[in-house]
Each structure stands twice: as structure tokens, then as C-alpha cells.
Amino acid sequence: MSNVLKTALALALIAPAAAAQELESAVVKLHTTRRNPDFLQPWTKRAPEELSGSGVLLSDGRILTNAHVVMYARQVYVQPYQSSDKFSAEVEVLAPGIDLAVLTLDDPSAFAGVQAPEIEAALPRAQDPVSVYGYPMGGSELSITEGIVSRIEYDDYYFETAAARIQVDAALNPGNSGGPVFSDGRVIGLVFSGIREADNIGYIIPSEEVLRFLDDAADGTYDGIPRVTGEFVTLENDALRARLGAGDDVTGLVVRRAGAGSPLEEWDVVMRVGDHDISNDGKVQVSAGLRMNFRYMVPQLAVGGSVPVTVFRGGESVEVSLPTPNRPDLVAPSLAGDYPRYFIYGPLVFTAATQEFIGGTFNAFGPGMALKQSPMLGRWRDAPQFEGEELVVVTSRMFSHKITKGYDDAIFATVADVDGIAVRNLAHLVEILRDGTSRFVEFRFHDNAQETLVFERDAIEDATEDILSDNGIRHECSEDLRELWRGGE
């Protein structure tokens, strides 16, 4: 073999190895110390727990990972590939709904000289080969598993968020979360979920969702994914089509309930979003061989807070603009990484219901809540009925004190009124109790069979000080309510 051929062969072998080394160097291991909220004792936090996950270097030196890897983290350390060093980092932007987060390193030079991988803007195709990089449990070194793209679909993520997602058959395990998925040397997505009951089935967040998140969060604040609200049903039933006068040329979704502020009406048929026809099962053709729910097109077509749609109404086609809010407007919103608000008054602890609170309490106490006909179960996905509405809930068992004599516990009961004044939200509850002057304080609840609680005002306010002292609680309310309780607005 000539020297020229030997050199060419050596270079051919070295180039892929160098490229692989470059990808590996951009994948990091994350070590976090997390303190989750304690919903039953919102004045404190749960005990610290140590977790690990994965992440990938961005071109600006920051680290991209999953939100659930760093949510409620008190400490975050980034460990480079094949290194014992751990660099401190802070969570810069957190988006729990789409499960993405960006970290900023305290030492910007920590990854000097490391090349960040390219992020592919387009969706992959089914059967494309993929390589999953990360640091799953069971070892300390970088793990690489291989597979293919099994399916691409539009589906739910977390906290009323929906977006495109990719199913892969590569093995995913705890610790892989936040790690990049490569195809042809480019990032096509980020690991975020696996199915425990199934072998080799996992989901990744497509790179187009990652890029949209990074673009949104460029100013340091994440606004969310534009969406359309309301409820729709398919236009597949022959009787329904006849009832609406829909000929063969009419396809789309029937409006069952219009969202707040929407120009849609009941029985409208939404036929097109932008220039994309909607099928009778609610899908649009995204590309050759790929159909997805019409909502997939909304973030791509929305401009200035609205998206154009074509509606079949009363036998005619009508062009309307649908509002596209970035976040769901819920009477029980998500905490989005914050800790719960609370207010302690005598033996009672109040909070505002959130998606996390309702989900956690339902898993443990669902039958009891259903028996009491708790509004939380019926309204947890509802929009507020008026501006500022919250469901104010007793979050803990009553503290032990003589003024509770003869009363049943009111845990998870939803407050209807205090002293005959309907409670609008947690801050309003604080105002009512702060400004009350009558001898007695009366709490009434929405929940079936929950008795009205009556206390002498002077006695319950004196009890508050005793209870805080006896239980080592520093403040009677969360920081956002302290000025209000002390006389502010």
C-alpha cells in the first residue's frame, strides 16, 4: 500500500473519531440538590434529595436540560465529560410545561474550547437512526444508546402544555433526562420521558420546540407556546354533518365550546388554519407521510397574538382570527417552579389551589374529596369566572389548640366566605381577616358536609402567636402576603 493511500485511510478513520469526541465533550452530567414543596406544610420545604441528570452545551456557553432535572434545585453542579470537576450553575430560565431549562455557569470559562453541537431545525423522519447521549443511573461514564425514530406526534406534555414530540426505541433510563439525541451528528431533540411499563420506548422534545423555547427565553423570561382555547369534536358522524349542512367539500372540527374571548360559535366547523386544511379527525398534513393535530400549526402561524382560521358557519365560509394566549388561564394555575403561597390564621392554614396541589392531594385523598363534592375536582381545568379568582383551600390539618374543641378537621375544604363575605382569592381572604372587627370570625366552605367554623376573633388571633411559636414557624404567611397582612395593599 502506498504512503498516500495509508495517509488517506488514517485520515478517514481519524475524522469520525474526532467528530464523535466533539459530540461527547458537549454532553454534561448534572448533580442537583432539590427541595420540593411540602403542600401539607407550605411554610416549609421537603427534606433535601440528591438527583442527577444530563445536559448539553449551547453555543453561548450555557447548558440546556430538562426543567424537571433542576426544578426546586437549591444547588446545581455541572460535570464535564471525563472530568472530576464540578462547576456551580444557576437556573436562568425554567419552562416546566415544555420541560426545558437553561443553566448559566458561575464560571463562564468552564467550557472554553469545547464546541457546542449544531441543532437541527427540521423534524426528523420516521426510521431515522438516532443516538441518545447521557448519564443514566448504573454508572458514572457517558452512555450512548442507539435506535430509530418510531413516531412523531402532537401530544400533551405537562401543565396544560401540548406540542410535537418524538418517540424513539433507544433505551432511556433515569439520568438520561436532559441529554441530547443526535442524528447525523446534529441535535434533533432532548430526552424528557420514558415509559416504565414498556421496553425501549421513550420520548424526546424535538429540536424545533427547543429552538422555539430558546428564542422565547432570549430575554431571560419564558412566555409560553401560543395556543388556541376551546373544545372541539370530530366531523365524522353522518348525522352531525347533515345537521350542519356540511357537504363533501367541508372538513374540519366542530366547535363544542368556544374559549374565552374567542370569535368562534357553537356548531362552527373550523376548516383551515392558515392555508392548511383540517381533516375530519382534526389533523393537518405537515409533510409527506406526517399528519398532526391542527394545533401543531398554531405557534408557527400565530402573529401578534392571533392565528387566521377559516370557519364554516350557516352554510358559508367565514375568515376569523383566533386569539392565541401563551399560557392557559386556569382558576388553579401551575406553580411553574415556585413554592406555594400560604396564610396561617389560628389553627387554620390556607393556600391557593394549584395544578400540583390538586394532583397530589387527589392521588392520596381523591375518594374523600369526591365525597365532599370538592370544587377542586370539578373546576381544576376551568378558567376563572372573574378576574383574580382563586380556589382558597385549607391545606393542612388544624393545629392542636383548645379553640378547636369539638370541630372536625377541615383539611382540603374550599373556603366559600368569611364573615359572610365571599372569598375571591387568597389575598382577599387576608384582607377580610385583617380588616374584620366583629367579635366572632366565621368560616363557611363549599364542600358538602363541612361544618361552619366559628371562633372568637381575639382568641384566634392570640392562638396564632402561640401556634407559630410552638411549631417553630417564622412567618404567618408567605412573603408575597406579608405587607398586605401588615396593612399594605
Instruction: Report pLDDT for 329.
Output: 86
Whether 10 shows a pLDDT value over 80: the answer reads no
* Residue 194 and residue 242 in one domain: no
Q: Give whole-number Cα distances, 281 to 160, 226, 233, 234, 285, in Å.
A: 21, 22, 8, 5, 12
- Higher-pLDDT residue of 225 and 1 is 225
Whether 46 shows a pLDDT value over 60: the answer reads yes
Contact criterion met (CB below 8 Å) for 403 and 413: no
* Residue 311 and residue 377 in one domain: no
- Higher-pLDDT residue of 447 and 270 is 270
Whether 3 shows a pLDDT value over 70: the answer reads no
d(CA 407, CA 416): 18
Which domain-ending residue is among 219, 245, 275? 219
* Residue 25 CB neighbour total at 10 angstroms: 20
347-378 per-position pLDDT tens digit: 999 999 999 998 877 766 666 666 667 888 88
Lowest-pLDDT range of 203-207, 365-369, 417-421:
365-369
Q: What percent of the chain has pLDDT over 70?
A: 92
CA 145, 205, 334, 486 torsion: positive or negative?
A: positive
d(CA 194, CA 175): 11
d(CA 305, CA 298): 10
Residue 336 lies in a domain: no
Instruction: Report pLDDT for 17.
Output: 46
Instruction: Report pLDDT for 376.
Output: 83
* Average pLDDT taken over every residue of the chain: 89
Edge-to-edge order in the sheet of strand 421-422: 421-422, 415-418, 440-445, 453-456
* Residue 193 and residue 239 in one domain: no
Which domain-ending residue is among 163, 188, 219? 219
Residue 180 lies in a domain: yes
Average pLDDT over residues 61-68: 94
d(CA 77, CA 431): 42
Average pLDDT over residues 184-200: 77
Instruction: Report pLDDT for 92.
Output: 94
Lowest-pLDDT range of 43-52, 146-155, 357-366:
357-366
Average pLDDT over residues 110-115: 89
Q: Which of 442, 383, 373, 455 is nearest to 412 (CA)?
A: 373
Whether 187 shows a pLDDT value over 50: the answer reads yes
Residue 335 lies in a domain: no
Which domain-ending residue is among 168, 189, 219? 219
Residue 200 lies in a domain: yes
Residue 398 lies in a domain: yes
Instruction: Report pLDDT for 456.
Output: 95
Average pLDDT over residues 7-36: 70
Residue 359 lies in a domain: yes
Q: What percent of the chain has pLDDT over 90?
A: 70
Q: Maximum distance among all alpha carbons in the chain?
A: 103
Average pLDDT over residues 183-193: 91
* Residue 212 and residue 237 in one domain: no
Whether 134 shows a pLDDT value over 50: the answer reads yes
Average pLDDT over residues 218-245: 91
* Residue 170 and residue 303 in one domain: no
| Burial class of 373 by CB neighbour count within 10 A (0 to 12, 13 to 18, 19+) | middle
pLDDT confidence of 54, banded at 50, 70, 90? very high
Q: Which domain holds residue 458?
A: 343-485
- Higher-pLDDT residue of 202 and 21 is 202
Would you state the cell numbers that stand for residue 412, as one nine-digit string?
382540603
Instruction: Report pLDDT for 394.
Output: 94
Report the CATH number that the domain containing residue 38 is assigned in CATH. Answer: 2.40.10.10
Q: Which of 206, 231, 211 is nearest to 287 (CA)?
A: 206
Whether 171 shows a pLDDT value over 90: the answer reads no
Instruction: Report pLDDT for 195.
Output: 53
Instruction: Report pLDDT for 264.
Output: 92
* Residue 347 and residue 314 in one domain: no
* Residue 283 and residue 360 in one domain: no
* Residue 313 and residue 268 in one domain: yes
Number of structural domains in the chain: 4
Instruction: Report pLDDT for 19.
Output: 57
d(CA 305, CA 310): 17
For residue 181, how many C-alpha atoms fall within 13 Å in the half-sphere facing its CB? 33
* Residue 354 and residue 479 in one domain: yes
d(CA 370, CA 363): 12
d(CA 28, CA 140): 11
- Higher-pLDDT residue of 20 and 323 is 323
* Residue 244 and residue 297 in one domain: yes
Instruction: Report pLDDT for 261.
Output: 81
Whether 199 shows a pLDDT value over 60: the answer reads no
* Residue 253 and residue 212 in one domain: no
Taking the CA atoms of residue 63, residue 67, residue 68 and residue 71 in that order, the dihedral angle to the nearest 10 degrees is 90
Whether 94 shows a pLDDT value over 90: the answer reads yes
* Residue 299 and residue 255 in one domain: yes
Report the CATH number that the domain containing residue 402 is assigned in CATH. Answer: 3.20.190.20
SS3 32: strand
3-state secondary structure 421-474: EECCCHHHHHHHHHHCCCCEEEEEECCCCCCCEEEEHHHHHHHHHHHHHHCCCC
Lowest-pLDDT range of 169-178, 295-304, 342-351:
169-178
SS3 224: coil
Residue 122 lies in a domain: no
238-291 per-position pLDDT tens digit: 999 999 988 889 999 999 988 878 899 999 999 999 999 999 999 999 988 899
Residues labelled catalytic? 68, 99, 177
Instruction: Report pLDDT for 14.
Output: 43
Residue 470 lies in a domain: yes
CA 72, 79, 54, 136 torsion: positive or negative?
A: negative
Edge-to-edge order in the sheet of strand 348-352: 343-345, 348-352, 392-394
282-303 per-position pLDDT tens digit: 999 998 889 999 999 999 999 9
Whether 414 shows a pLDDT value over 70: the answer reads yes
Report the CATH number that the domain containing residue 319 is assigned in CATH. Answer: 2.30.42.10
Instruction: Report pLDDT for 489.
Output: 63
